Amino acid sequence: MRAPRRKPARRKRLCGRGPPSAASIGTPIAWPWDRRLPIALRHPAAWEQSAGLVARRTEWPAMAKLAQRAEAGGTQVMVSSTAAPAAAPLGVALVGTGLAAAMHTAALRLVPGAEIRGVVGTSAGKAEACAQRLSLPRAYRDLDECLADPQVRVVHICTPPHTHPDLAQRIAAAGRNILIDKPLARTVAEADRIIAACARSGVMLCGLFQHRNIPLCRSVKTAVDQGRLGRIYLADCFVKWWRTDEYYRDSSWRARRATEGGGALINQAIHSIDLLQWLAGPVVEVAGYTTTAAHAIETEDVGVAVLRLAGGAVGVLEGTTAAYPGFPERIEIHGTAGSVVVDEGRRRVEWYLRGQEPRIEQEGVQQGNAADPAAVSPEAHAAAFADFLDSVRTGRPPTVDGHAARKALEVVEAVYRSSAQGGRPVYLPLSP
Ligand SMILES: NC(=O)c1ccc[n+]([C@@H]2O[C@H](COP(=O)([O-])OP(=O)(O)OC[C@H]3O[C@@H](n4cnc5c(N)ncnc54)[C@H](O)[C@@H]3O)[C@@H](O)[C@H]2O)c1
């Protein structure tokens, strides 16, 4: 007589509404589901926020054991590269003393094995003031002094876009790995020079598009790649934000062609443009318009475009800093098997798959950037930095290397070129 077939063990989820894949962020590590971090088990937002807490405890061996036991028992283990096991610290220096430098500092402090060595400013005094304000160990007199520090292995460029090419070329020539906060540069031609300089010197280059590290966005990417939305035919992104007159007036570089290369598209909407092209792209054709509607600035505070994507889909993009009072940004993707709405601004994803109940995943309340430039929580930055440090350690390419970071810039530049030609279509890849 045949033995009755055993029912396969059901995989339990640690966190009911958490990311669906077990290895959704990179280097595996187990979440300890003991009582020390109970909130991490229940709440997806805390899942991200707790990464730093886990990381700062040196509990890797214990967590690894727990993970093995859990997986053997059929329990899904969540992972986070921000909580990778501690390796020898890697020295990181920051160039820039403004808002981005503060964000990078907060995030680097969540990354195990990242050692902030110091900061470079436009003057020794500015660097000193920044080092004090952010409690950094050292203020370098200038970039040369920073690059003479043998402990510095990675340099984060947190300065306005017009400075990126020169800084990157100097840092690459000194053999240091480079992370550049978005945009890679003002133009694709400049980005190409940066990529070539890094290749020549054999150093790693990473562009910062931290929204790709938001777990919900990664689960949408997985769903799209697995074909769960069917054939995609429509993909849109909407970034209707608000920035005050003072925001522009108080800055020496924002919304100026010479220093930023553009306005609302290259600065604010570029994160969502990057997500859109990553999720549903690449973009092959762009027809767009830009206008300056509500601010006394040189570049656009409104940009719109119709897109054609490689797979035959079409889409629209809207990016503005003139939409008072500022609305959460959104990406909408429609395919033959259903739709997904990525409400990035509220860290929420709505799934409408044919034959299934609609489902909403929420990572917790997030104030978002819609009206406040400084309202950026550090976890997604931290995951991007951990990914890059892991590439520097292991030699594998970073998830968002120079070529990947260039793509959103290429779409933005295509909108600018199209608008300058009265909305005529521009085809990608762009010719010089
Ligand atoms: N990823 C994100 O979410 C995010 C958020 C904010 C800013 N950014 C990006 O970060 C970059 C900087 O933006 P920010 O908001 O910090 O600007 P900011 O004006 O607040 O600060 C820029 C800093 O760079 C310094 N600086 C300028 N030229 C320099 C040089 N050659 N060497 C050293 N320091 C120099 C300035 O003195 C200033 O302290 C921009 O590319 C911006 O788009 C990204």
Beta bridge partners of 418: none
Please report the pLDDT score of residue 344 as a whole number. Answer: 86
Torsions phi, psi of 56, nearest 5? -75, -20
**CA–CA separation, 344 and 239 (whole Å):** 10
Instruction: Say which range, 25-29, 111-115, 266-270, 376-380, has the weakest mean pLDDT.
Output: 25-29
Please report the pLDDT score of residue 228 as a whole number. Answer: 97
Going by the DSSP 8-state scheme, the letter that residue 242 receives in this structure is B
Q: Structure pTM?
A: 0.83
Residue 340 reports pLDDT greater than 50:
yes
The confidence band for 334, taking pLDDT boundaries of 50, 70 and 90, is: very high
Compute, in degrees rounded to 10, the torsion defined by CA atoms 19, 366, 40, 12.
-30
With CA atoms as reference, report the closest residue to 401 among 177, 211, 82. 177
Residue 176 reports pLDDT greater than 70:
yes
Atom of ligand 1 nearest to the CA of 120: 33
Atom of ligand 1 nearest to the CA of 210: 1
Is 418 part of any domain? yes
- For 360, the domain range is 214-375+402-427
> Using a 6 Å CB cutoff, which residues line ligand 1?
95-100, 103, 120-122, 126, 158-161, 163, 181-182, 208, 210, 251, 267, 376
Instruction: Say which range, 9-13, 105-109, 207-211, has the weakest mean pLDDT.
Output: 9-13
Tokens 């995951």 correspond to 383
Please report the pLDDT score of residue 366 as a whole number. Answer: 60
Strand order in the sheet with 90-95: 114-120, 90-95, 152-157, 177-181, 205-208
Q: Mean pLDDT over residues 166-188, rounded? A: 98
Please report the pLDDT score of residue 373 as a whole number. Answer: 81
Helix (H, G, I), strand (E, B) or coil at 307: strand
Q: Mean pLDDT over residues 407-419, rounded? A: 98
Q: Mean pLDDT over residues 204-210, rounded? A: 97
We report the CATH number of the domain holding residue 319 as 3.30.360.10
Is 8 part of any domain? no
Q: Ligand 1 center to residue 323 CA distance, Å?
A: 24
Which of 159, 247, 256 is the pocket-test mutation for ligand 1 (most atoms within 8 Å of CB)? 159
Is 384 part of any domain? no
**CA–CA separation, 321 and 336 (whole Å):** 33
Nearest CA to ligand 1 atom 19: 98
Is 332 part of any domain? yes
Please report the pLDDT score of residue 2 as a whole number. Answer: 52
Average pLDDT, the chain: 85
Which of 94, 95, 99 is the pocket-test mutation for ligand 1 (most atoms within 8 Å of CB)? 99
Domain count across the chain: 1
